[in-house]
């Protein structure tokens, strides 16, 4: 009995081990990083902020915020992009204080959704620098804030 079982096991082991078998998905290292050109604007795909490039032109930070306020183009909407930044934020002005960038918006800062704030902060940081961003309108302030590292 035991001998037969051992022989059977051996056979299974030998036969099953043959050839190249299909595998599950194997997760490897981090995906490659490429370079992108042009101004970045963060729109939303579903609930996720996603970068959008608008052509190979360089723009002023204030112009970029205007484009953000304009929302997705029809083509982008077709791809599933939307926005939570109200168009009223434009025109906006950027200034610099000691601890980062200060963005003065034309809309009610406190009324902005979290995702909308993330869109604005990330877009500003993409054209300026890594310095924290503070959103102001009169006495209203939000920040200083930074764009989340992993989007």
Binding footprint of another protein on the chain (CB under 8 A) = 2-3, 6-7, 10, 13-14, 17-38, 45, 50-53, 55-56, 75-76, 79-81, 125-126, 129-130, 146-147, 149-151
Closest contact distance (angstroms) between CB of 27 and another protein is 5
Backbone phi, then psi, for 43, in 5-degree steps?
A: -105, 180
Q: How far apart are CA 96 and CA 103, in angstroms?
A: 8
Q: Is the peptide bond before 144 cis (omega within 30 degrees of 0)?
A: yes
Nearer to another protein by Cβ, of 111 and 130: the residue is 130
Nearer to another protein by Cβ, of 102 and 127: the residue is 127
Closest contact distance (angstroms) between CB of 151 and another protein is 5
At a CB cut-off of 8 Å and minimum separation 6, what does 124 contact?
61, 64, 65, 94, 101, 103, 133
Nearer to another protein by Cβ, of 23 and 138: the residue is 23
C-alpha closest to that of 124 among 144, 98, 151: 144
Nearer to another protein by Cβ, of 79 and 97: the residue is 79
Closest contact distance (angstroms) between CB of 144 and another protein is 14
Closest contact distance (angstroms) between CB of 120 and another protein is 15
Q: How far apart are CA 115 and CA 145, in angstroms?
A: 13
């Amino acid at each position: 009995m035991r001998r037969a079982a051992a022989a059977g096991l051996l056979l299974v082991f030998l036969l099953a081990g043959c050839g190249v078998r299909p595998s599950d998905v194997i997760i490897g290292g981090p995906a490659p990083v490429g370079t992108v050109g042009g101004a970045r604007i963060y729109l939303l795909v579903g609930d996720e902020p996603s970068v959008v490039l608008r052509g190979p032109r360089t723009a002023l930070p204030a112009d970029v915020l205007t484009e953000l306020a304009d929302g997705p183009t029809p083509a982008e909407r077709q791809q599933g992009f939307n926005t939570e930044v109200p168009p009223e934020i434009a025109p906006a002005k950027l200034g610099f204080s000691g601890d980062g960038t200060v963005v003065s918006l034309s809309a009610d800062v406190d009324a902005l959704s979290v995702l909308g704030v993330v869109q604005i902060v990330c877009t500003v940081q993409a054209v300026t620098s890594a310095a924290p961003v503070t959103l102001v309108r009169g006495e209203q302030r939000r920040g200083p804030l930074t764009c989340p590292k992993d989007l």
